[in-house]
Structure 1
Amino acid sequence: MITTYRGEALRRRRRLLTFISAAISVAAALPLSTASSAHAEAPTDSCRKTHLAQIIFWGVACAQPGQPVIGAFGTWRNIPIKFESVATPKTTVRAANRLVMVPNTEKSPFANSVEVGLYAEKTGQTTSSYQPGWIESGENGGQFHNIAQGTDPTKPDGTNHTYMLIRQPSGDQWDVLYDFNWVGSTTDQLKVPRGNANRIDVGLEVMGPQYVTVPEISSRVQYLNEGKAWSRVSADNTAQVASLGICGQNIPFTKPPKQYQPPYCFKTKMTGGSSFTQWSVSKPGPGQSPSLSGNSSLAGPGKTVDLTPGVVNGVEQADLARCMENSPDACLSRVPGLSECIRTARLCNAAAVNGKSLISAHIKAEKITKREIGKRAAVSFGVPERTLRVTPGDGRRSGSHGFGAQSSNEDSPGVWTVEASAATHGLQGRNVTFRGFRATYSTDSGQLLDACWGRMCDR
């Protein structure tokens, strides 16, 4: 009987392995819209730990596909963000919708990361900036870069834009792409051990929630596996965090029961069934009903599409323009040559090479003063205002060079450069400080152009 039982068990095991092998083969051939065949537990614990800061609040979805990830893709529309017209000299007020890649989560959920997204910030009582950009958080500090390309990237006009992070073919660094064009590369990311779980976060980050209103922003996400195939993450492998609370839900441990109410709450929704297709999040402003909603469709706002003729690096530009207008999350599979181009060339979208508006449209009639910029930088970087050195520039902006160094930017009419050697947390909410920072702001709009902190300023 023992022999028979073992023989039957072996036969069942062989049939199971055959079934699993066949299932993997079928899953590899499934179209993009299906869930990934890999399975892993949702990164609930790491997602919560990463998004529990006291002055920064998040409405995000965290995905861990369960297999090596060498690329992340996100797309959403430029949605208008409203700031209250009040003075906030001691509070940084901003909202950002971000795609974040944490390549190596082996040591800590707070590991080095790179993010790209849309950043809006209150720059004065009645002024604000609105811009795409990217941030690297590393062992030695961090860096922020404004993205100065694309079709009207600084206008909240409902236009679709795409955000991508692609691991370089050799080494451990990542390329950053906006609207399918290269805009920068990391320099301080960790080596990714074989089998390490990568994490992708997407969604809204808010500071000063009582002063900002964010209509619904709907982000669609995909990841690139080692087989160079774009897939969606299984919903089972996704965790959600709304650190302000969900509008209308009961606040724990309150008697009598109270509910989360604007402006201190988020509205969130994940759609796609078994696959994580879309994350929608909004944050009502002061006095608003929790039912704040927006248009979750990626269909464009109905403006005329600028059809750039010809083929660039194997990509038919007219096909790409039409796809960007109506279904940017499908472009990688529908536009011939695009998936290959983003891995082998820096330029894939000719229409987005030069931005039509580098500086945000919300500009004061007079220049931003030295004192205004100093106060704002002190709050943003968490350093005493007396430790700052603020100097004017002639249109050159800071790069990832040494303290006091600048690199050319002919598009900006003037800048303020702010420097300090005091300890700073940089522009991210990690519980880590670094020595010194440098940041460059536009004198016209107060818009942050670039910044570095810690030893990243020495590169």
Structure 2
Amino acid sequence: MIGGFATWRNIPIAFDQVDTGSATVQAANYLRVSPNTSSSPLAPNIEIGLYAEKTGKTTHTYGPRWSELTTSGGRTTAIKAGVNPTKPDKRNHTYMTVRQGSGNQWDVLYDFNKVGSTTKQLKVLGGNTNRIDVGLEVTGPKYINVPSIANRMQFMTGNKAWQQVATANVAKSVTLPVCSTTHKPPSCFTTKLTDNSKFTQWTVSKPRRQTAAVTSPAAAPAAPAHPRDAAAAGLPATFNGVDQQALQACLENDPDSCLTTVPGLSECVVTLRICNAAALPSGGASEDAAAGADVSAADVRARAAAAFDVPGDAVAVEPPASPAALKTRANAADGSGDAAWTVTSTRSTPGLQRADRRFEGFTARYSAYTGALLEACWGDLCDAS
């Protein structure tokens, strides 16, 4: 496997309007690719997905980001490319990572445009030594309602052909009980795997309250009204060899098929990797569901301490006027140009990884306007020591 692809809609995620203190309350729907699991199933991996996090009694953030997770640390970066990436408007978006033409590192693409690259991935070996995952993870399920998300996924073989995973190679892991009359919301999932000989769709929801039907996920949200002509207005007919009219129509109606039906797309994602003229990175400040939130140093300190599992008094906070502690990059897709609170600590932390390992220190940047996490690093993947 030298590539992974997934698609789902930006469905609305709701949070209870109650005070949860500094506790992390978050939903993450993600694609994860582990290029080499020969030594451990917890090997370095790439994760790209949609994240919604409660930031206050009535505020939350919402949007995509990508992460590189390794045995020596990790880093994560918010994504600013795409059409309305931070709006829960039920628009289809695509998530992809593809190995570079030489070496062992991978590029990350959102809506078929490159938004970043890894630095610490292991060499891809032959045989069954790599893994691809798609799924929903919820922290603080008591306070979250996640409607049905219909996840579709493919992988790229060594000869650069995209395929669905054979059913025999699919495993399910559901860590909360299935919603039923015995196990009622909010501490349960509803799931459905659609397959025959190959994986087709993994539909999952995390209801907040009991409904009439709890034994299977509700139908996927109806497609929103995003007229193709509006999406393609002003675009070139062809961009980097890709038929843009066909691409916008495919993204709206059947993004799972775009790699095989849109002229020029499959070639572009493995060569130029900037393929969607409508979804190029924006240069403006980030927008999300918490626009206009009142972000204070105390709020940022408490959130960072909880997220990175360190004492609050071990966290240093620099106001937005201070220089960013993380390396500033010219590409606006990573949000590094936004005014931000910078948070640092030298204490041992698990970072944002869901594992038992701990690393030395972290640095994180939070938007001064919304409180959204813009980027973070921990352990050896930090630019600043």
TM band (smaller chain):
over 0.9
Shift of 1:412: 5.7
Number of the residue aligned with 1:273: 196
RMSD between aligned residues: 2.0
> Which residue among 416, 440, 446 is the counterpart of 2:341?
416
Shift of 1:316: 1.1
Number of the residue aligned with 2:227: 304
The structure having more radius of gyration, on CA atoms, is 1
Whose helix proportion is higher, 1 or 2? Answer: 1
Q: Deviations over 1:216-260 (max 9, x none)?
A: 0001111110111111111121011110121128xxxxxxxxx32
Are 2:12 and 1:80 equivalent residues in the alignment?
yes
Are 2:309 and 1:362 equivalent residues in the alignment?
no
Q: Secondary structure at the match of 2:256?
A: helix
Return closer, same or farther for 1:326/1:398 CA change in 2, 3 Å cut-off. farther
Return closer, same or farther for 1:137/1:177 CA change in 2, 3 Å cut-off. same
Return closer, same or farther for 1:263/1:88 CA change in 2, 3 Å cut-off. same
Distance (Å, rounded) in 2 between the aligned partners of 1:290 and 1:135: 36
Shift of 1:358: 2.5
Distance (Å, rounded) in 1 between the aligned partners of 2:324 and 2:172: 37
Number of the residue aligned with 1:93: 25
Shift of 1:398: 5.6
Are 2:209 and 1:282 equivalent residues in the alignment?
no
Q: Secondary structure at the match of 1:351?
A: helix
Number of the residue aligned with 2:304: 377
The gaps in structure 1 that reach 5 residues or longer are 1-68, 250-258
Shift of 1:111: 1.1
Q: Retained in 2: the 8 A contact 1:114–1:135?
A: yes
Q: Retained in 2: the 8 A contact 1:217–1:294?
A: no
Q: Deviations over 1:253-295 (max 9, x none)?
A: xxxxxx3221111000011312101000000114555638444
Distance (Å, rounded) in 1 between the aligned partners of 2:240 and 2:251: 17
Distance (Å, rounded) in 2 between the aligned partners of 1:176 and 1:78: 19
Q: TM-score, normalised by structure 1?
A: 0.78
Return closer, same or farther for 1:289/1:427 CA change in 2, 3 Å cut-off. farther
Are 2:56 and 1:124 equivalent residues in the alignment?
yes
Pick which of 279-288 and 203-212 moved more.
Answer: 279-288
Matches within 5 A, 1:343-354: 343-354=270-281
Q: Retained in 2: the 8 A contact 1:313–1:345?
A: yes
The number of residue pairs the alignment matches comes to 375
Number of the residue aligned with 1:37: none
Are 2:129 and 1:211 equivalent residues in the alignment?
no
Return closer, same or farther for 1:448/1:73 CA change in 2, 3 Å cut-off. same
Q: Deviations over 1:397-442 (max 9, x none)?
A: 564x4xxxx4466886521000000000001111100000000001
Write the letter of the residue equivalent to 1:386: D
Write the letter of the residue equivalent to 1:241: S
Q: Retained in 2: the 8 A contact 1:152–1:357?
A: no
Return closer, same or farther for 1:357/1:288 CA change in 2, 3 Å cut-off. farther
Q: Secondary structure at the match of 1:330?
A: helix
Number of the residue aligned with 2:80: 148
Matches within 5 A, 1:57-456: 69-248=1-180, 259-288=182-211, 291=214, 293-296=217-220, 300-305=223-228, 306-307=231-232, 308-355=235-282, 358-364=286-292, 367-394=294-321, 399=326, 401=327, 406-407=328-329, 414-456=339-381
Pick which of 195-204 and 141-150 moved more.
Answer: 195-204
Return closer, same or farther for 1:143/1:208 CA change in 2, 3 Å cut-off. same
Q: Retained in 1: the 8 A contact 2:285–2:338?
A: no
Q: Secondary structure at the match of 1:239?
A: coil
The gaps in structure 2 that reach 5 residues or longer are none
Return closer, same or farther for 1:87/1:326 CA change in 2, 3 Å cut-off. same
Shift of 1:141: 0.4
Q: Retained in 1: the 8 A contact 2:315–2:345?
A: yes
Task: Give me the identity figure in percent.
Answer: 48
Shift of 1:146: 0.2
Distance (Å, rounded) in 2 between the aligned partners of 1:96 and 1:209: 12
Q: Retained in 2: the 8 A contact 1:136–1:142?
A: yes
Q: Secondary structure at the match of 1:423?
A: strand
Q: Secondary structure at the match of 1:110?
A: coil
Distance (Å, rounded) in 2 between the aligned partners of 1:396 and 1:247: 48
Q: Secondary structure at the match of 2:2?
A: strand
Q: TM-score, normalised by structure 2?
A: 0.92
Distance (Å, rounded) in 2 between the aligned partners of 1:206 and 1:120: 10
Return closer, same or farther for 1:222/1:202 CA change in 2, 3 Å cut-off. same
Distance (Å, rounded) in 1 between the aligned partners of 2:285 and 2:301: 25
